[in-house]
Amino acid sequence: MLLNAAFIVVALVAIIGMATMLFDKNLIKLTMGLVLMEGAVNLFLVMVGYRQDGIAPIFTSAPDGQMVLPTVQAMTLTSIVIGFATMALLLTFAVVLYRKYGTLNCDFINKLRG
């Protein structure tokens, strides 16, 4: 039951992120929405791999019990790093665009047409 609650949190965070991306015109907020969605995905990954009372298979200190391969945890760490790189890149773009256009509003950043 408690596990399902976590999936509801995932859905909530993802919806907030997606709504921010779709309805907010500010580039910084767009990045924030994207990062929120990344957070939701990371939480989802950790939830998928969670086993109650599972133990990470470390050779030197392996007590008896159910061992769980920590693949998702490794995946989540990698995904957090990738998310960080993406966020840095998007914010850099926002800075450059602000310098060139004097605005962060998507409505005025529209020189690409046709």
Partner 1 sequence: MMENLGSHLPALTVGIPMLFAFALPLIMRIHAKAGPIVGFIGMALTSICGLSLAYQVFSAGPQAYVFGAESSGLTLPPDSGGVPVRIIFSVDAFSAFMILSISIVALMSMLYSLSREKESEGQSTFFALFLLLVAGVLGMVSTCDLFNLFVFLEISSLAGATLVAFRIHKGIAVEAGLKYAVLSTAGGMLFLIGVGILYGQYGSLNIAYIAQNLKMTRIDLIALILIFMPMAMKCGAVPMHFWTPDTYSRAPAAVTAFLVVTSQASMYVLFRVLFSLSGLQLNPYTFGWIIIVLGVLSMFIGVTMAIPQKDVKRLMAYHAVSQSGYMLLGVGVGLATLNDPVLLETFGKQAMTGGIFHIINHALYKGLLFLTAGAVIYATGKRNLNELGGLGHKMKYTMIFFIIGALAIAGIPPFNGFASKFILYESVFRFNPFLAIIAIVVSILTLASFVKVFHSMFMGPRLPQYAKSTEVPKPMLYAMGGMSLLVVLGGIFPNIVVDSIIEPAVSALIERSEYIHIIMGG
Query: Of 72, 84, 86, 3, which is closest to residue 42 (Cα–Cα)?
Result: 72
CB 17 within 8 A of CB 37: yes
Segment 51 to 80, residues that bind partner 1, using CB under 8 A: 69, 71-72, 75, 78-79
CB 31 within 8 A of CB 97: no
Per CB under 8 A, the list member of 12, 19, 48, 77 interacting with partner 1 is 48
Per CB under 8 A, the list member of 15, 62, 77, 96 interacting with partner 1 is 96
Segment 11 to 30, residues that bind partner 1, using CB under 8 A: 21, 27, 30
Per CB under 8 A, the list member of 12, 77, 93, 105 interacting with partner 1 is 93
Partners of 55 in beta bridges:
67
Name the segment binding partner 1 (CB under 8 A); options: 1-9, 58-66, 82-90.
82-90
Residue 70 per-residue DSSP state: T
- In angstroms, the Cα distances linking 90 to 25, 42, 77, 85 are 15, 19, 20, 9
The footprint of partner 1 (CB under 8 A) covers 21, 27, 30, 34, 37-38, 41, 44-45, 48-49, 69, 71-72, 75, 78-79, 82, 85-86, 89-90, 93-94, 96-97, 99-101, 109-112, 114
